Structure 1
């Protein structure tokens, strides 16, 4: 069994297409087929079900692949440790910074660390609706910053630091509320479309994780699109109070209160990282700075 075979298996599983996997591995399709046949011959059982249009793992293949992912993750982490020890700092670092988390102090911290480590390449990716946690669970980023719920611990071995509480409320444009009424019943709210962000691939996150019960649901991918549709009066939605503070103050949005049900709750803005990863001086400087911000 070779590490290169496990990498090919990972490419096939993640793309579900031999052609895409070949492009990802920079090899020909016949070369990938031969590599998988040789691996299956060596281990004594079939990994991939080739009977359908899409390639998929056999039951035995799923168990094998789960362990193979751990091996590949360990190798990636070993490469990162080696690079850091050789250079004295990380050659690159990736941070998932959700739009909801926008804060001048966090941006200033990033600026200070970037100046402190001029040889490190920084990649800061955005996202919304728990995408920072999703990217961290997949090993795509080193540190995530975004909304946090205790259930996120089910997605990985994380440690986190509280940055600040988040008040989540129901908001809408006053133009879609009859007679300007901001206090409604749950049934009245159900008559108005609900705007919500597209669920992530986290196991607990789906269309059922929504405050909407009987409302028509309009699903969008970006927070900016959600904000625009709210202002246009397309429907109501859940929003962090600090994010829509200006719109609430000038009357472009209003807070909806329910006379017969809960209409607001509290979440937390946290920074989080995996307990299983090695962190060099750059990631450590960012983490220490986040701990000292609030």
Structure 2
């Protein structure tokens, strides 16, 4: 027989999160006396003092700090359990929210969405285009159901999805190409680099930034491609996205030492709790896995890039 209830633990967590009993009462829409009574009953039931006397401030005791961490975990699991029940009760979901990093191949995404829509014609789909840690940030905040991210998701499920190849490129007439020799990272630092801003509000990552003194930051990769195509700087760009510009030799890979201008990054399929996903989400995941396995290897394009660098 349990000595405590989830509601008591919820009141306890609310006091800690809000910073006091009065604030917690407003947070959970209960009276201050109700919140205080619930926490007091909890302490009596478990025989542990959760708060220390610290004037008018609420301060956790050492035991309270431990109990807070465990309570947060239990309450989170309880919410997941109810979400699973809601999913089972509702049957097929009516809305699927997906965060997709902008480096993910768009044609592949469109094929997956088309297949899922054929199976679930009434399904509404919301796509959030993200950069770097933005996809997992949206997943963490509960604003999307599934994410395609360049980072594993520490709070749930992560699976290797596909690899994306990048090349450091600049316009054919850019001064870096005029040097007509193998370039070093020091050469690049004296020229403008175009980088794409991390779309997460909490975490800012400058992936691929080489420490260039001149840096322009944009919010979408297509803006970066446009700027590079007009000779305004250099950038690391996904080879699949700039395939046309490379074939037309509008953009050329920078001849960095030992093919240092070529990089490969993993994209991950991430979500918080598979049991809470409905049939449409599961169909999307299955089709995404299948389509990603059919993704042509970029090795051929990489070889072309290497040949361009060596010319």
Fold match by TM threshold 0.5 = yes
Deviations 1:174-193 (A, max 9, x none): 45425634742222111013
- Kindly state the Cα deviation for residue 240 of structure 1 after the two structures are TM-superposed: 0.8
1:189 aligns with 2:173: no
1:113 aligns with 2:119: no
Aligned twin of 1:82: 85
Cα RMSD, aligned residues only: 4.3
Of stretches 127-136 and 1-10 in structure 1, the one that deviates more from structure 2 is: 1-10
> Gaps spanning 5+ residues in structure 1: where?
none
Aligned 8 A contact 1:98 1:132 in 2: yes
Aligned twin of 2:175: 177
Go from structure 1 to structure 2 and tell me whether the alpha carbon gap of 1:184 and 1:82 turns closer, same or farther (over 3 Å shift): same
Distance 1:147 1:230 in 2: 23
Aligned 8 A contact 1:80 1:90 in 2: no
TM, length-normalised to structure 1:
0.70
Go from structure 1 to structure 2 and tell me whether the alpha carbon gap of 1:109 and 1:200 turns closer, same or farther (over 3 Å shift): closer
Distance 1:233 1:258 in 2: 18
1:144 aligns with 2:127: no
Distance 1:146 1:215 in 2: 28
Aligned twin of 2:127: 124
Go from structure 1 to structure 2 and tell me whether the alpha carbon gap of 1:248 and 1:77 turns closer, same or farther (over 3 Å shift): same
Equivalent residue runs for 1:229-240 within 5 Å: 229-240=227-238
Deviations 1:49-102 (A, max 9, x none): 9999xx999988765554444334323322322222223223433211222113
**How many pairs are equivalent?**
275
Distance 2:130 2:36 in 1: 39
Distance 1:277 1:50 in 2: 45
> Gaps spanning 5+ residues in structure 2: where?
1-5, 44-48, 295-311
Aligned twin of 1:5: 11
Distance 2:62 2:172 in 1: 54
Go from structure 1 to structure 2 and tell me whether the alpha carbon gap of 1:207 and 1:268 turns closer, same or farther (over 3 Å shift): closer
Aligned 8 A contact 2:131 2:200 in 1: no
1:165 aligns with 2:163: yes
Deviations 1:138-191 (A, max 9, x none): 54432222446xxx26x24424253x4321111223454256347422221110
Distance 2:150 2:283 in 1: 22
TM, length-normalised to structure 2:
0.67
- 3-state secondary structure, aligned to 1:89: coil
Which of 1 and 2 has greater Rg? Answer: 2
